[in-house]
């Protein structure tokens, strides 16, 4: 079983690069005030790229390097070789222009076995967004989240999860406080997903942070050692181990872009 250090339970595009606050890096487009974007600056419209690709080689003038660098590739070359992804199997087929998208709270913490990594608490499933839907989707999320306030959540109950395709099993720590506030945020996210005709989150979500995962469905086997593992958590030093999550900034990852939504105190 591997310790989780990934940004999606399905599959992901490449990770985001540097952070640029408030402004889309290439076109100087202003992004929503409280929506910051990480990314590689490749926010170029797909149509522009297609025009470049479709012109015949004989009529094509060489583009100056400075222009080419304005339209970097949005998408990483994709590979279906699961051995290159720790054995993970893609949940849905990759198609050019489709951006795997999910919403989550980031979580940075240390557990006995894991170094600080990119742990997260999911508030959506991974859905597929067309590139031109990303900005209106983000605007919709931003508008819906305005009344949501920052809160603290805690998790301490180990639980086994399996993805819908039964291709990966997760050992997660389930939330014990903050459930009502998390449901509130899910309602907002679900509203946006519904507006975009995308699948909403679980009807009865079990909010959790995955700590470790393995390829395949090992629900039975892992559940058998859950009691023993929970004892380790409960008897941690002087008091039971509790995972505290400061839910101060919601994030939405779409392909290789990460949008941030700070919540008011």
120 in active site: yes
Minimum CB distance to ligand AMP, residue 7 (Å):
9
170 is a site residue for ligand AMP (CB under 6 A): yes
| 137/213 with CB nearer ligand AMP | 213
Q: Which stretch binds ligand AMP (CB under 6 A): 60-68, 200-208, 231-239, 246-254?
A: 200-208
Interface with ligand AMP, residue 163, by CB under 6 A: yes
Residue nearer to ligand AMP on the CB measure, 37 or 163: 163
Write a three-state SS string for the chain.
CEECCCCCCCCCCCCCCCEECCECCCCCCECCCCCEEECCCCCCCHHHHHHHHHCCCCCCCCCCHHHHCCCCCCCCCCCCCHHHHCCCCCCCCCCCCEEEEEEEEEECCCCCCCCCCCEEEECCCCEEEEHHHHHHHHHHHHHHHCCCECEEEEEEEEEEEECCCCCEEEEEEEEEECHHHHHHHHHHHHHHHHHCCCCCCCCCCCCEEEEEEEECCCHHHHHHCHHHHHHHHHCCCCCCCCEEEEECEEEEEECCEEEEEECEC
Q: Which residues contact 172 (CB under 8 A, 6 or more apart)?
A: 158, 159, 160, 161, 206, 208, 209, 210, 211
- What is the nearest approach in angstroms of ligand AMP to the Cβ of residue 170? 4
- Choose which of 17, 205, 233, 260 interacts with ligand AMP (CB under 6 A): 205
Q: Does 164 bind ligand AMP (CB under 6 A)?
A: yes
State yes or no: residue 41 binds ligand AMP (CB under 6 A): no
Nearest distance in Å: CB 128, ligand AMP: 15
Among 71, 133, 161, 241, binds ligand AMP (CB under 6 A): 161
User: Does residue 92 belong to the site contacting ligand AMP (CB under 6 A)?
Assistant: no
Which of 120, 179, 227, 236 is an active site residue?
A: 120
Sites for ligand AMP among residues 206-235 (CB under 6 A): 206, 210
Answer yes or no: 208 catalytic.
yes
Residue 9 binds ligand AMP (CB under 6 A): yes
**Listed ranges 13-21, 36-44, 59-67, 156-164: which one lies at the site for ligand AMP (CB under 6 A):** 156-164
Residue 250 C-alpha from the chain's centroid? 10
Any contact of residue 202 with ligand AMP (CB under 6 A)? yes
Q: Which residues bind ligand AMP (CB under 6 A)?
A: 9, 122, 161, 163-164, 170, 202, 205-206, 210
Catalytic machinery residues: 120, 208
């Amino acid at each position: 079983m591997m310790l989780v250090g990934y940004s999606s339970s399905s599959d992901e595009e490449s990770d985001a690069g540097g952070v640029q606050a408030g402004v889309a890096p290439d076109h100087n487009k202003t992004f929503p005030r409280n929506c910051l974007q990480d990314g590689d600056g490749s926010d170029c419209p797909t149509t522009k790229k297609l025009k470049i690709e479709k012109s015949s080689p004989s009529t094509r003038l060489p583009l100056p390097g400075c222009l080419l660098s304005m339209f970097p590739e949005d998408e990483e070359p994709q590979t279906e070789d699961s051995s290159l992804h720790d054995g993970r199997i893609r949940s849905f087929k990759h198609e050019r222009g489709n951006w795997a998208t999910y919403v989550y709270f980031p979580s940075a913490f240390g557990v006995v076995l894991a170094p600080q990594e990119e742990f997260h608490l999911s508030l959506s499933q991974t859905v597929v967004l067309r590139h031109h839907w990303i900005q209106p989707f983000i605007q919709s999320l931003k508008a819906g989240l305005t009344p949501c306030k920052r809160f603290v959540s805690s998790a301490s109950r180990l639980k086994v999860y399996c993805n819908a395709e039964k291709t990966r099993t997760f050992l997660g720590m389930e939330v014990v406080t903050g459930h009502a506030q998390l449901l509130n945020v899910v309602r907002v996210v679900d509203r946006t997903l519904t507006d975009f005709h995308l699948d909403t989150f679980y009807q009865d979500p079990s909010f959790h942070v995955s700590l470790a995962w393995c390829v395949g469905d090992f629900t039975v086997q892992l559940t058998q050692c859950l009691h023993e593992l929970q004892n380790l958590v409960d008897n941690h030093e002087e008091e039971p181990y509790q995972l505290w999550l400061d839910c101060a900034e919601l994030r939405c990852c779409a392909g290789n872009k990460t949008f941030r939504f700070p919540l008011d105190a």
